[in-house]
Every structure is written in C-alpha cells, then in structure tokens.
C-alpha cells in the first residue's frame, strides 16, 4: 500500500445537454453528491452541455421521480461546486461567458489540469 495521499477531487465531464435530460440529471446527481461530501468538485461542460452554464437553461424535470434540474444546480452551487465551460464551445455557440451561472467560467483542458494539479482525481464522464 502506498503512503501517497489520495486526492478527494472529483471531475464530472458532461458533453450532453438537454437533448438527454436524464443523462444531465445523473451527472448533476453525481456532482452534487461529491460536492456535498466536501470534495472539491469541477464539472467540465463541453458540446451541448456548455449551454447549461447560461442562466435559465438548466430547468425542467427529466423523469417522474427525478429531482428538478434547477434544484440540483442550486444544491451544487451551495456545496461549492464549480464549472469549467469549454471555451471553443462557448465561441461556437455564441454564448456570453460574462453572464454564466455562479461558479461557472470559460476554461478548457489546461485550466482543468491546473485545477487537478499533481494529485489524482476521480473522474466521471457523461
């Protein structure tokens, strides 16, 4: 067994937007669980998921019994969760990164690796 400390950081890579609300819900449930346990948590939003950083987009309920997306976004914010939104996707979709939801900023793979640092991180991809 190694003496090296294990990182508690969590990265949730989400490339799907509201075209698949159940996948978005599961990604947010994963991120909320990590953040609410006190893990530093970063969601990396790419492709259609970049739109979720725009206020008023992450709304609705994916399925009967699923929590509303707006509730999950709120819980994630209150738990200190953060987002990096693919800057290429932001530009391609003509999104205004200056109006993103709390905790979200345009940033690509280099800022993501810088955030992870020299530690390991647990990663989930949706």
Give the pLDDT confidence of 71-87 residue by residue, as tens digits: 999 999 999 999 999 99
Give the pLDDT confidence of 8-51 residue by residue, as tens digits: 999 999 999 999 999 999 999 999 999 999 999 999 999 999 99
Which tokens is 5 given?
């400390």
Residue 1 DSSP SS3 = coil
Contact 31, 11 (CB under 8 A): no
From the number of C-beta atoms within 10 Å of its C-beta (0-12, 13-18, 19+), residue 74 rates as middle
* pLDDT range class, residue 6, cuts 50, 70, 90: low
**What would the CATH number be for the domain defined by 10-125?**
3.40.1260.10
| Domain chopping of the chain, boundaries | 10-125
> Given the structure tokens 């205004």, which residue do they identify?
96
**How many of the other CB atoms lie within 10 Å of CB of 5?**
8
Which tokens is 75 given?
């819980």
């Amino acid at each position: 067994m190694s003496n090296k400390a294990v990182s508690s950081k969590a990265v949730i890579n989400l490339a799907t937007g509201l075209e698949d609300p159940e996948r978005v819900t599961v990604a947010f449930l994963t991120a909320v669980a990590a953040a609410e346990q006190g893990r530093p948590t970063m969601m990396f939003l790419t492709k259609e998921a970049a739109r979720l950083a725009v206020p008023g987009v992450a709304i609705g309920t994916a399925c009967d019994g699923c929590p509303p997306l707006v509730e999950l976004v709120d819980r994630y914010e209150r738990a200190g969760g953060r987002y990096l939104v693919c800057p290429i996707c932001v530009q391609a979709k003509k999104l205004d990164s200056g109006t993103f939801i709390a905790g979200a900023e345009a940033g690509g793979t280099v800022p993501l690796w810088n955030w992870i640092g020299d530690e390991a991180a647990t990663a989930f991809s949706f």
